[in-house]
C-alpha cells in the first residue's frame, strides 16, 4: 500500500471507530480530545474544565485570533484531506506548505485530533510545523510549545517522518489580524528566514525549536490522565491568569479573590 493510502487510512480509522455522539468514555462524555484543549490544560486546567461545563460567548481576543487565522489562510488553495495528503508525500526538492492540515491519531487508545496552522512537507518528511498566536504579549508560553509539539507528534504517528522536524511559534499583536499585508500574505512574517518584524500596524516575533518526542509524550500522558478521570483539574497558581480569567468570579480555586 502506498504511503499516502496508509496515512489516509490511519486518519479515517480514527473517526470510523468513534462511538455515537455523547457516548464517549472520556470526561464530559467526549470520545476524542482536541489538541487545543490539551494545550489549554497547560494554561489552566480548571479554566478548561469550566469552559466545557459553563461555555461563554467568545471573547474579543478570541474573535481577533480566529479572524487572524482566517486572514492568513484565505488565499491558500483549498485542498481536500485526500489531496493534502497526496501533496504532502509527493517527491519534491523544496518543501510545500499546507495550511489547516488535519491531524488525528491514537495515544493509549485515546483519539486526538487537531488542525495545524502550517505544515511544511517534503516527500513524506515533516520539515516544519508553524503555530501562530495573536497576543498582546509576544512571549512564548508552555501551552504554545505543547500545542506545536503535539502537531509534530501526531503527524509522525499518522505516518510522516518527524525525525528532524522543527517547529516555529509566531506571536503577533492583536491588531495585526485585519492588516491588508497579512491578508494578501505580503507581510514579511511569511518569509521563514525572518525572525522578528514590526511596522506601524503591529509587531511579530518568531521562535524556532527542535521537536523533542520524548518531552511531549510525557506532557501528553499527564494531560490524558485528566480526560480519563484519573485526577481532578489542577488550577493555575498564577495570580495574573486568575485576574484576567472570565471565570474568576465563579471559580472556587481562583487566586483573584
> Is the residue at 255 inside a domain?
no
> Is the residue at 142 inside a domain?
yes
Q: CA 115 to CA 72: how far, in whole Å?
A: 14
> Is the residue at 256 inside a domain?
no
Q: Which of 49, 52, 158 is nearest to 111 (CA)?
A: 158
> Is the residue at 31 inside a domain?
yes
pLDDT digits (tens, 9 = 90+) for 10-31: 999 998 888 766 578 999 999 9
Find cell 518568531 and name the residue: 206
pTM for the model: 0.91
Grid coordinates representing 220? 501528553
> Is the residue at 111 inside a domain?
yes
Q: At 153, which CATH number?
A: 3.90.320
Three-class SS state of 105 = strand
pLDDT over 90 percentage in the chain: 62
Q: Structural domain tally of the chain? A: 1
Q: CA 164 to CA 126: how far, in whole Å?
A: 8
Q: CA 153 to CA 218: how far, in whole Å?
A: 12
> Is the residue at 252 inside a domain?
no
- 1-5, 53-57, 83-87: least confidently modelled range: 1-5
Q: Which domain holds residue 14?
A: 3-244
Contact between residue 151 and residue 117 where contact means Cβ atoms under 8 Å apart: no
Considering the chain, what is the average pLDDT of its residues? 89
User: Is residue 256 pLDDT above 90, yes or no?
Assistant: no
> Is the residue at 250 inside a domain?
no
pLDDT digits (tens, 9 = 90+) for 148-180: 999 999 999 999 999 999 999 999 998 888 888
Name beta bridge partners: 170: 132, 206
> Is the residue at 116 inside a domain?
yes
Amino acid at each position: 500500500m502506498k504511503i499516502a493510502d496508509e496515512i489516509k487510512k490511519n486518519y479515517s480509522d480514527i473517526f470510523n471507530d468513534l462511538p455515537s455522539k455523547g457516548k464517549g468514555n472520556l470526561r464530559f462524555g467526549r470520545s476524542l480530545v482536541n489538541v487545543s484543549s490539551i494545550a489549554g490544560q497547560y494554561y489552566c486546567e480548571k479554566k478548561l474544565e469550566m469552559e466545557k461545563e459553563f461555555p461563554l460567548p467568545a471573547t474579543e481576543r478570541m474573535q481577533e485570533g480566529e479572524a487572524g487565522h482566517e486572514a492568513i489562510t484565505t488565499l491558500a488553495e483549498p485542498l481536500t484531506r485526500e489531496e493534502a495528503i497526496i501533496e504532502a508525500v509527493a517527491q519534491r526538492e523544496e518543501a510545500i506548505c499546507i495550511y489547516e492540515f488535519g491531524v488525528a491519531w491514537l495515544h493509549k487508545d485515546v483519539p486526538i485530533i487537531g488542525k495545524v496552522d502550517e505544515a511544511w512537507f517534503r516527500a513524506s518528511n515533516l520539515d516544519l510545523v508553524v503555530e501562530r498566536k495573536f497576543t498582546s504579549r509576544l512571549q512564548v508560553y508552555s501551552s504554545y510549545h505543547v500545542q506545536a509539539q503535539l502537531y509534530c507528534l501526531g503527524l509522525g504517528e499518522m505516518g510522516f517522518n518527524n525525525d528532524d522536524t522543527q517547529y516555529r511559534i509566531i506571536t503577533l499583536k492583536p491588531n495585526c489580524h485585519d492588516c491588508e499585508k497579512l491578508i494578501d500574505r505580503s507581510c514579511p512574517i511569511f518569509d521563514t528566514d525572518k525572525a522578528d518584524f514590526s511596522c506601524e500596524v503591529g509587531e511579530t516575533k518568531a521562535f524556532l525549536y527542535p521537536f523533542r518526542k520524548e518531552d511531549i509524550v510525557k506532557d501528553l500522558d499527564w494531560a490524558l490522565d485528566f480526560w480519563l478521570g484519573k485526577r481532578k483539574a489542577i488550577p493555575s497558581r498564577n495570580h495574573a491568569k486568575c485576574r484576567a480569567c472570565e471565570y474568576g468570579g465563579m471559580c472556587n480555586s481562583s487566586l483573584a479573590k
